[in-house]
């Protein structure tokens, strides 16, 4: 079946612009996660959704970052007023229920802020 | 705060060698541990998941062990092949929801 998909695959934007990153999880997966992978920082957790609720937003680095999930499926990560330090690969993952299950990752969105 | 460390950071071996990648974590209160591989420019592929109550998992040429009390895991790759070249990441499920990732081991298997 189809895996986790993310769009766009690459995004180049100017500093100060807003961007939206999209994640389509595996059908039927109730848990969805956003991670960020940047040079020198490794892979870090951003936010976790169970259904449409986000019980853990502890990894969002600032209030410029927000995410939502609708219909228990698609999720959008929004970064407002982008900064150069936001440049990274943003990865989305889903799992059937919770983090004790295997997490399946999408290919990521590479964001470059000029 | 959970911290995950992987040793070595990079490893280069000739084809056919058996090898061991190491992962350590500071907080033993984990639910599971996963090993992933990441190919350049691509997402993560889950290789093995070990629940906290398990000691090891095997898949083909891969064997992962977990010693929760000492905060260690190893990934054993038998008869390495050039196609095994990738970055290998271990991650622990901490706080019930999120994965905390290690720093990764970059593996190169030469023909």
pLDDT at A10 over 90: yes
Residue among A45, A104, A105 minimizing CB distance to B98: A45
pLDDT number for residue A100: 67
Cα dihedral B63, A106, A3, B109 sign: negative
Distance of alpha carbon A89 from alpha carbon B52, whole angstroms: 29
pLDDT band at B108; cut points 50, 70, 90: very high
- pLDDT at residue A110 is higher than 80: yes
In chain A, % helix, strand, coil (3-state, to 5) comes to: 5, 50, 45
Nearest by CB: A98 against B36, B46, B97: B97
Is residue A108 classed as helix, strand or coil in its secondary structure?
coil
Mean pLDDT of A57-62: 90
Minimal C-alpha gap between B38 and chain A (Å)? 10
- Cβ atoms of B105 and B36 within 8 Å: the answer is no
Q: Has residue B43 got a pLDDT over 90?
A: no
Rounded to an integer, the average pLDDT of A94-109 is 84
- The answer to whether A92 and A25 are in contact (CB under 8 A) is yes
What is the predicted pLDDT for the residue at A66?
96
Give the A-side interface with B, CB within 8 Å: 4, 31, 33, 35, 42-45, 48, 50, 55-56, 59, 91, 93, 98-100, 102-108
In A, minimum Cα distance to B39 occurs at A107
Chain-chain contact of A42 with B100 (C-beta, under 8 angstroms): no
Mean pLDDT, residues A17-44 taken together: 92
Interface contact B98-A33, CB threshold 8 A: yes
Binary contact (A45, B99; C-beta < 8 A): yes
B49-73 residue pLDDT tens: 999 899 999 999 999 999 999 999 9
Q: How many CA atoms lie within 13 A of B83 on its CB side?
A: 3
On the CB side of A4, CA atoms within 13 Å amount to 31
Where does residue B41 fall: left (phi above 0), alpha (psi -120 to 50 degrees), or beta otherwise?
Answer: left
User: Mean of the pLDDT values across residues B36-45?
Assistant: 88
CA distance A105 to A5: 8
B99, A108: Cβ pair inside 8 Å? no
The answer to whether A103 contacts B46, with C-beta atoms less than 8 Å apart, is yes
Contact between A56 and B101 using a beta-carbon 8 Å cutoff: no
Give the residue-averaged pLDDT of A98-104. 76
């Amino acid at each position: 079946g189809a895996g986790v998909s993310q769009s766009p695959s690459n995004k180049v934007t100017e500093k100060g612009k807003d961007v939206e990153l999209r994640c389509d999880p595996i059908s039927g997966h109730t848990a969805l996660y956003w991670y960020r992978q940047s040079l020198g920082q490794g892979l870090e957790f951003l936010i976790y959704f169970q259904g449409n609720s986000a019980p853990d937003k502890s990894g969002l680095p600032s209030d410029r970052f927000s995410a939502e999930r609708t219909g228990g499926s698609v999720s959008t990560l929004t970064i407002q007023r982008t900064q150069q330090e936001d440049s990274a690969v943003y990865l989305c993952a889903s799992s059937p229920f919770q983090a004790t299950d295997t997490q399946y990752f999408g290919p990521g969105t590479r964001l470059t802020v000029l | 705060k959970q911290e995950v460390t992987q040793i070595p950071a990079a490893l280069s071996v000739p084809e056919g060698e058996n090898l061991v990648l190491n992962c350590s974590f500071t907080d033993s209160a984990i639910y599971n541990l996963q090993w992933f591989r990441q190919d350049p420019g691509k997402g993560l592929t889950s290789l093995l998941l070990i629940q906290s109550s398990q000691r090891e998992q095997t898949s083909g040429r891969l064997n992962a062990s977990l010693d929760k009390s000492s905060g260690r895991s190893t990934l054993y790759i038998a008869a390495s092949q050039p196609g095994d070249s990738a970055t290998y990441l271990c991650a622990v499920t901490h706080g019930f929801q999120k994965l905390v990732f290690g720093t990764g081991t970059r593996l190169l298997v030469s023909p």
